[in-house]
């Protein structure tokens, strides 16, 4: 027999989950960038959170999804990045990871052998020892670094950056 507290808790959880996923507001650059890059590259989602892309209308935009709760490891553990590579048959050298956390995204991708781009929308100073391959301030900045030929490896991004 369920108590009133159990029913209230279930109801509150249901309301929280509904608003957690249905009230997401994407930055204006997200969909155009995913559309542009998705036509040239295999896009994936690597997340430590309960970020189910299908719940916020983004599932069809990703070739692969790797969620820490499914894998049992979290970023910055290189294993989560290697799992993403295995899903699409790429080596870590072919992975370019964009994330907004220096500690989990940039450091983890770097340790896995992937390119790490730090999405720093707020222009926060980097006062850590972590050095991503690149810092960008909007997703649209990615187009400046990516080769329009998707058959070349992501190491060409580094060639472009040093030019």
In tens, the pLDDT along 51-76 reads 678 777 788 899 999 999 999 999 99
- Whole-prediction pTM: 0.80
Would you tell me which CATH number, out of the four given (3.40.50.620, 3.40.50.1000, 3.90.1150.10, 3.40.50.11860), belongs to the domain 27-162?
A: 3.40.50.1000
Please state the φ and ψ torsions of residue 99, each to the nearest 5 degrees.
Answer: -155, 160
When comparing pLDDT for 143 and 153, which is higher? 143
d(CA 137, CA 119): 6
Asked which of 45-54, 80-89, 95-104, 110-119 is least confident by mean pLDDT, the reply is 45-54
pLDDT band at 103 (very low <50, low <70, confident <90, very high): very high
- Of 85, 86, 133, 98, the residue nearest 27 (C-alpha): 98
Q: In 39-132, which ranges are continuous DSSP H helix? A: 68-71, 78-88, 107-112
CA 90 to chain centre: 16
Q: What is the mean pLDDT of residues 135-162?
A: 69
Alpha-carbon distance of 86 to 90, in angstroms, equals 6
Q: What is the DSSP letter of 58?
A: -
- Please say if the pLDDT value at position 44 is more than 90: yes
Q: What is the pLDDT of residue 48?
A: 92
- Residue 74 contacts residue 48 (beta carbons within 8 Å): yes
Could you tell me which residue, 4 or 138, shows the higher pLDDT? Answer: 138
Between CA 70 and CA 143 the distance in angstroms is 31
Closest by CA to 149, choosing from 29, 44, 35, 39, is 39
DSSP state of 135: E
Percent of the residues in the chain that have a pLDDT greater than 90, as a whole number: 62
CB 125 within 8 A of CB 109: no
Q: What is the mean pLDDT of residues 116-124?
A: 97
| Residue 162 pLDDT > 90 | no
């Amino acid at each position: 027999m369920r108590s009133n507290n159990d029913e209230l808790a279930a109801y509150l959880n249901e309301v929280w989950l509904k608003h957690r996923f249905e009230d997401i507001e994407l930055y204006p650059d997200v969909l155009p960038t995913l559309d542009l890059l998705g036509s040239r590259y295999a896009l994936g989602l690597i997340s430590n959170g309960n970020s189910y892309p299908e719940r916020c209308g983004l599932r069809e935009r990703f070739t692969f999804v790797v969620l820490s709760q499914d894998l049992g490891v979290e970023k910055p553990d290189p294993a989560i990045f290697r799992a993403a590579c295995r899903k699409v048959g790429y080596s870590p050298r072919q992975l370019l990871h964009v994330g907004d956390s220096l500690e989990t995204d940039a450091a983890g991708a770097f340790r896995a052998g992937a390119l790490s781009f730090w999405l720093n929308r707020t222009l926060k100073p980097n006062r850590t020892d972590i050095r991503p391959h690149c810092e960008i301030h909007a997703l649209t900045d990615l187009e400046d670094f990516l080769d329009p030929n998707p058959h070349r490896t992501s190491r060409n991004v580094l060639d472009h950056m040093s030019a």
